[in-house]
């Protein structure tokens, strides 16, 4: 089933369940609107009913989905050789409608509501699992307290480490002294050789 509706100076071909964007109509999201300027109504396999120009006692019931504004357009004016330029932007107000039925016929089936009910049941089933998780949390806290008890043991280990580090520098110093001694001996040896060469000459 379909109908041709006039609103905001424009005509729209609509069917139940369609979403259309029209010139702004009063009403917040969720309110119902009746479009009574119907030009034509038709059904599949039947001749359409035509109005002259409108069909009386016929209306299209809609629901306001959203109040919004269209994309911006640029309005530019210019008069050549006059130094006149004007630029403006404009966004037209518009209303988004969902068509519910045409003259009380062809209403969209409420299958969506049946699907919503099982979802609520699944949420109810999930809630006990969330409670079970909260019950498990104290166990985790108990483990954390056990870790805190183990922390002082780690402190005793850290106290022992500086003693070991204090011994290591002493060994390094002893090794450094030995290296210096060997270096001085090596430097002294070449001097003796040069002295021996001079005697030979």
- How far is 142 from 115, CA to CA, in rounded Å? 43
- How far is 66 from 94, CA to CA, in rounded Å? 9
Regarding whether 32 and 104 lie in a shared domain, the answer is yes
Q: What is the mean pLDDT of residues 72-92?
A: 97
What sections of the chain are H helices per DSSP? 111-200
pLDDT at 152 (0 to 100): 52
Alpha-carbon distances of 19 from 13, 126, 129, 161, rounded to whole Å: 11, 35, 40, 75
Residue 44 resides in a domain: yes
Q: What is the domain range of residue 97?
A: 2-108
pLDDT at 10 (0 to 100): 95
Residue 198 resides in a domain: no
- Cβ(23)–Cβ(95) below 8 Å: yes
Residue 190 resides in a domain: no
Regarding whether 7 and 94 lie in a shared domain, the answer is yes
Regarding whether 96 and 128 lie in a shared domain, the answer is no
Q: Taking the CA of residue 47 as centre, how many other CA atoms within 13 Å lie in the half-sphere pointing to its CB?
A: 3
Q: Is the pLDDT of residue 184 over 50?
A: yes
Residue 101's DSSP bridge partners are 61
44-58, 96-110, 156-170: segment of lowest average pLDDT: 156-170
Regarding whether 129 and 99 lie in a shared domain, the answer is no
Regarding whether 95 and 40 lie in a shared domain, the answer is yes
Token couple for 42 = 């038709």
Regarding whether 99 and 12 lie in a shared domain, the answer is yes
pLDDT at 126 (0 to 100): 54
pLDDT at 44 (0 to 100): 84
Q: Is the pTM of this model over 0.85?
A: no
Token couple for 146 = 């056990």
Regarding whether 95 and 83 lie in a shared domain, the answer is yes
- The residue to which tokens 């259309």 are assigned: 20
Q: Report the domain count for the chain.
A: 2
Residue 187 resides in a domain: no
Regarding whether 172 and 101 lie in a shared domain, the answer is no
């Amino acid at each position: 089933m379909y109908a041709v509706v006039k609103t905001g100076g424009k005509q729209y071909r609509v069917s139940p369940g369609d979403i259309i964007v029209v010139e702004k109509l009063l009403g917040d999201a969720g309110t119902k609107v009746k479009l009574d300027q119907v030009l034509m109504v038709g059904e599949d396999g039947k001749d359409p009913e035509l109005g002259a120009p409108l069909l009386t006692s016929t209306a299209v019931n809609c629901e306001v989905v959203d109040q919004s504004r269209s994309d911006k357009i640029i309005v530019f004016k210019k008069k050549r050789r006059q130094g006149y330029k004007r630029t403006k932007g404009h966004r037209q107000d518009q209303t988004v409608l969902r068509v519910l039925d045409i003259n009380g016929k062809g209403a969209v089936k409420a299958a969506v509501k049946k699907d919503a009910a099982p979802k609520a049941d699944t949420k109810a089933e999930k809630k006990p699992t969330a409670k079970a998780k909260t019950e498990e949390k104290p166990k985790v806290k108990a483990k954390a307290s056990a870790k805190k008890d183990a922390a002082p043991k780690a402190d005793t280990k850290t106290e022992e480490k500086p003693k070991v580090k204090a011994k290591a520098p002493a060994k390094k110093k002893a090794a450094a002294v030995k290296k210096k001694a060997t270096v001085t001996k090596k430097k002294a040896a070449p001097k003796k050789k040069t002295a021996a060469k001079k005697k030979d000459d």
